[in-house]
Amino acid sequence: MAAPIQKIARLAFHVFSRKQFDGTFHEGLKSLKSMLNNITSKELNFDVNSLKRNPTQFEEAPVGYVSIWEDDVISIGVFVVKPNGRLPLHDHPGMHGLIRVIHGALNLKSFTETSGVGVPSDLNRKLTTPQEKSLLKPAVLVGESVVSTQDECCVLTPTDGNIHEIRPVGETVAFLDVLSPPYGDSKDCNYYSEMSVTESENQGDGITWLLKIPSPADYWCETFDYTGPVIDEAQFDN
């Protein structure tokens, strides 16, 4: 019998490799979400405490990553975010992302980019050059919620909730992450900071202004070996 992560990888590959050609994409995505809702850390042979066996590597990095599978259609892995860490506000350009918490709990804050909104005058004064202003974008807050192992997986699409920040709630959190398509040479993650707008400039339309910034200095990621069931690509065709 195929391991749960093998079934997830196979379904994810089929769903995302056919999304532009198959009218059943949304049904497939729904099935993938349902399958992810049932995956556990035990089925991945994943234990946060096992990462501490390399104390120097584990203690220094605020975020860890365990790569499970990657091809040109999907990437699957586990992110581990320690109490003092975070995945800063960032985007996945043109990508779908599914997040399933397998240990602890996280706070997910997400935004959807919008357009057709005039820049408030106080931001125009702060950002004086055309180059600075080109890094500014308006977004609408989709929501901020706490997600734990008891909750369903979260789905972020290329247009909905694509800009997001993840922080642990309390202790270390670990989550299974399915991304399609993976990052590549032409796809880079962009980071953002929320810009404050004076109350008099607040247009009352729920707009948050985000400024593209370099990768924050407090964020870096160490990699750890995967010890769970091996994914067999040959089974993708079955």
Say which CATH number the domain at 81 has: 2.60.120.10
* C-alpha to C-alpha distance for 101 and 150, rounded to whole angstroms: 8
* C-alpha to C-alpha distance for 191 and 163, rounded to whole angstroms: 9
Asked whether the predicted pLDDT for residue 19 surpasses 70, the reply is: no
Q: How many domains does the chain have?
A: 1
Q: In this structure, is residue 151 part of a structural domain?
A: yes
Residue that wins the pLDDT comparison between 59 and 72: 72
Asked whether the predicted pLDDT for residue 155 surpasses 60, the reply is: yes
pLDDT band at 52 (very low <50, low <70, confident <90, very high): low
Top mean pLDDT of 13-22, 43-52, 124-133, 202-211 is at 43-52
Sheet holding 63-70, edge to edge: 154-156, 96-103, 173-180, 75-81, 63-70, 221-224
Q: In this structure, is residue 123 part of a structural domain?
A: yes
- Please give the pLDDT value at position 37: 98
Q: In this structure, is residue 195 part of a structural domain?
A: yes
Q: In this structure, is residue 202 part of a structural domain?
A: yes
Q: In this structure, is residue 235 part of a structural domain?
A: no
Question: Nearest-5° angle of CA 177, CA 189, CA 127?
Answer: 140
Domain assignment of residue 98, given as a range: 43-227
- Please give the pLDDT value at position 132: 84
Q: In this structure, is residue 237 part of a structural domain?
A: no
Alpha helices, DSSP H only, in the chain? 4-17, 25-36, 55-60, 121-126, 130-134
Q: In this structure, is residue 36 part of a structural domain?
A: no
Q: How many residues does the chain have?
A: 238
Q: In this structure, is residue 177 part of a structural domain?
A: yes
Model's pTM, two decimal places? 0.92
Asked whether the predicted pLDDT for residue 128 surpasses 60, the reply is: yes
